[in-house]
A = this chain, B = another copy of it.
Amino acid sequence: MPSSEFSIIDEFFTLKSSQGVPPELGIGDDCAILDVPNDKQLAVSTDTLIEGVHFLASSAPYLLGRKVLAVNLSDLAAMGATPAWVSMAITLPSIDKAWLGQFSDGFFELAKQYNMHLIGGDTTQGPLSITITIMGLLPKTKRLTRSGANVGDSIYVSGSIGNAGLGLQKAQSDEVSVNDADVSAYLNPQPRVELGQQLLGRATSCIDISDGLSADLHHILNASRVGASVIHDTLPLSDSVREHMTCMGDNLWPYSTGDDYELCFTVPASINDIDTKLLAHGITKIGVIEQQPGLRIQLPNGEKVTLNKGYEHFNE
């Protein structure tokens, strides 16, 4: 029995209304209309998640609904923007109402937490994938970019690194437990939206760690035309990640694992004391920006390793 696109949108998306900044005109016309306050600019980002590439075919729909929004919120966090509106293009192999109910519950639970409104989208038939375009608001004079890091700046990361990468490996194995902190870091990432907002006016550069610390810090270094040294011993790593590195015999493993959705940012050396508001977010200084191009890792044995490779999306 054919089921109308329009009734799907109504049933699972339009009727679960959100709080926050209502659009001037929402779902149900050819376009949504947004009124951007005169003292604000709009920050816009687009991300696609594809089954089997960006999430496992076995993903629980509630957590998947949260995650597709979380990874996009993470892009707003990296600019210091305040979340406002979101559109979702979803491609589904068929209409599974139980799946859609849980997926939309997860999506809107996180949308409400950040006072976001769903303003539109598209529903199509095909292999499962979701493309989100997220929009946030920034003061006209402030923003975090990748290009402002200066020689001598300190490099910080939030949270801990490598847990989501380890969680993915565990989720792909048979012994998966949803209570495992690493699995949870992979399936249910927490975007650092509040931290990003507090970095506005303090940080000289910022990025979210989606492709791995090495690849993402390289984006800052390339955009800012600088290099960096990272003191390996200072990396915030959980016991589970340390154990995994030992088992693998690979000290550099946490630099290449993605999906952490923590922030990596730089602050001027003149800020000697990071204030308590920022420290409350669990941030760690891991290195310093240098003039010499490239990313150098200073290992505990005194050895220096240069990293230059990131995560690649395409395999041909």
Contact = CB atoms under 8 A, between A and B. Distances in A.
Interface of A: 1-5, 8, 24-25, 28-36, 38, 41-48, 50, 52-54, 75-76, 78-79, 81, 85, 87-89, 91, 94-95, 119-127, 129, 131, 133, 135-136, 138, 140, 143, 145-147, 206-208, 223, 310, 312-316
A315 B129 CA distance: 18
Contacts of A120: 44-46
A145 B26 CA distance: 11
Contacts of A145: 25, 29
Q: Tell me which of A29, A38, A76, A223 has the highest count of chain B C-beta atoms within 10 A of its own C-beta.
A: A29
A36 B315 CA distance: 39
A312 B4 contact: yes
14 contacts: A4-B310, A4-B314, A5-B314, A28-B146, A33-B42, A33-B43, A35-B42, A36-B36, A38-B38, A44-B119, A48-B122, A50-B124, A87-B133, A94-B314
Contacts of A52: 126
A20 to B, nearest CB: 16
A76 B31 contact: yes
Q: How many monomers of this protein are in the complex?
A: 2
Contacts of A122: 46-48, 131
A316 B1 contact: yes
Q: Which 3 A-B pairs have the closest CB atoms?
A: A30-B78, A31-B43, A131-B131
A89 B131 contact: yes
Contacts of A135: 44
Nearest to A32: B44
A45 B28 contact: no
A316 B48 contact: no
Nearest to A147: B29
Q: Tell me which of A75, A89, A94, A315 has the highest count of chain B C-beta atoms within 10 A of its own C-beta.
A: A89
Given A33-B138, A34-B42, A46-B131, 12 more contacts: A4-B314, A28-B146, A28-B223, A30-B76, A32-B45, A33-B41, A44-B120, A46-B133, A47-B122, A53-B126, A91-B129, A95-B316
